[in-house]
Amino acid sequence: MNGGDRVLGVLKWLVITLTVIVCAGPLIYGFLLSLRPFASVAAAPLSLIPSAEEVTLEAYPRAMGEFGLGGFMLNSLQVALATVVLAVLFSVLGGYAAVRLDFFGRRSVNVLFLGVYMLPGIVLAVPLFVLLSRVGLTGTLVGLVLVYIAQTVPVALYMLRNYFIAVPASVEEAAMIDGCGRLALIRRVVLPMALPGIAATSLYVFMIAWNEYLFALLFLVHERPRWTVALGISQLTEFSVPATVLMAGSIAVTIPVVAGFFLAQRLLISGLTAGAEKG
């Protein structure tokens, strides 16, 4: 090992340490702040670890109740779940068709979805705002769900397609010969085999819908009771809400995403092993 390689070895551990601090640091900082009274943060911003007597969970109920984040989270949950169910349903059907069936317009479908992916969200936001206002859907969660489905279906379909390709066509043909109709075939044969993929796709769609900000801002900003949690937290930063409460809100909005991540991970693994057992 020459001198240059030794320097690289030290550099490597420096990079790893720095990466961990930079990636996990802000989240830990947010969490620690959410446990302290604001007066103590303002007085001593450098003492990160809260002392035993000042630790308080008070910021969480304040964020949820007094500042309404609890209600906003419920709105977000409804929007995200509705988006996941519909977007994944549509993309299962469409993705299966794109993989297995040779139908008229199959190619143009792909081009269309690529186009959707390339169009800047902000550019579509302008006409969507105009059109949905015209039919009275801005200011409603339904309008938001419809837009989110359109925004996520192309990606979901693309993701699912890759999992469907992995399902052997011979299994499907056998089921077809046994008299299984197309929809029953998708439900009984393709879905179970692509379950890990569907879990991953659902999580991805959920994250997009849960985190989305631009359309929520445009459509709902004047409808405070219908704010999503992303919109709610960002609007609260405009008022003089204590930083500790904002941190509590930020941690709370992160929890479902992290929980979903671990849940889906278990589903992913169990799906894979369930397939392996049958050899």
Partner 1 sequence: MTSKRLVFTRWGRPLNRSQRDDLHGRLLVTPTMLIVLAFVVLPFLAVLVLAFADVRLVDIPRLSLDRLTLTLANFRSAWGSDRFWSALGTTLAYAACTTAGAITAGLVVAMALRRPFRGRGLVRALVLIPYVLPVVAATTIWKTLLNTEYGLVNAVGRQLIGWENPIAFLTTRSQELGGIPIPVALVTVIAFEVWKTFPLAFLFITARLQVSPMELEEAAAIDGAGKVRAFFHIVLPQLRGVIALLIVLRFIWSFQNFNDIYLLTGGAGGTEVLAVRVYEELVTRANIGTASATGLLMTAMLLVLLFVYGWMIRRERA
Window of 55-63, 104-112, 161-169, 190-198 that interacts with partner 1 by CB under 8 A: 104-112
Handedness of CA 209, 215, 219, 222 (dihedral sign): positive
Q: Which residue has the tokens 């405009």?
A: 238
142 binds partner 1 (CB under 8 A): no
**Using CB under 8 A, which of 199, 251, 264, 271 touches partner 1?**
251
110-129 residues in contact with partner 1 (CB under 8 A) are 112-113, 115-116, 118-129
DSSP state of 140: S
Stretch that binds partner 1, among 53-61, 158-166, 188-196, 245-253 (CB under 8 A): 245-253
Q: CB under 8 A: which stretch of 57-65, 77-85, 152-160, 161-169 binds partner 1? A: 152-160
Q: Which of 67, 79, 154, 201 binds partner 1 (CB under 8 A)?
A: 154
Size of residue set near partner 1 by CB under 8 A: 91
Q: Which residues of 247-266 are buried (b: 16+ CB within 10 A; e: fewer)?
A: bbbbbbbeebeeebeeebee
Give the nearest distance from C-beta 127 to partner 1 in angstroms: 4
**Residue 137: how many other CB atoms lie within 10 Å:** 18
Does 8 bind partner 1 (CB under 8 A)? Our answer is yes
Residues 226/75, Cβ–Cβ less than 8 Å: yes
Nearer to partner 1 by Cβ, of 58 and 146: the residue is 146
DSSP letters for 37-68? -HHHHHH-TT--SPPTTT---THHHIIIIIT-
Exactly one of 81, 133, 139, 268 binds partner 1 (CB under 8 A); which one? 133
Neighbouring residues of 54: CB distance < 8 A, sequence distance ≥ 6:
36, 37, 40
Span 201-240, contacts to partner 1 by CB under 8 A: 207, 210-211, 213-214, 218, 229-230, 233-234, 237
Residue 136's identity, in one-letter code, is G
Q: Judged by CB under 8 A, does residue 140 bind partner 1? A: no
10 Å CB burial of residue 67 (0-12, 13-18, 19+) is: buried
Interface residues for partner 1 in 52-91 (CB under 8 A)? 89-91
Asked if 157 is part of the footprint of partner 1 (rule: CB under 8 A), the reply reads yes
Query: Nearest approach, Cβ of 278 to partner 1 (angstroms)?
Result: 27
> Cβ 240 to partner 1, closest distance in Å?
12
- CB-hemisphere CA count at 13 Å for 221? 10
User: Is 195 within 8 Å of 269 (Cβ atoms)?
Assistant: no
Is 160 one of the binding residues for partner 1 (CB under 8 A)? no
Residue 105 as a binder of partner 1 (CB under 8 A): the answer is yes
How far is Cα of residue 78 from the mean position of the Cα atoms in its chain? Answer: 13
For residues 177 to 206, the per-residue mask of contacts with partner 1, x marking binding by CB under 8 A and - elsewhere, is --x-xx------------------------
**Residue from 10, 49, 52, 104 in contact with partner 1 (CB under 8 A):** 104
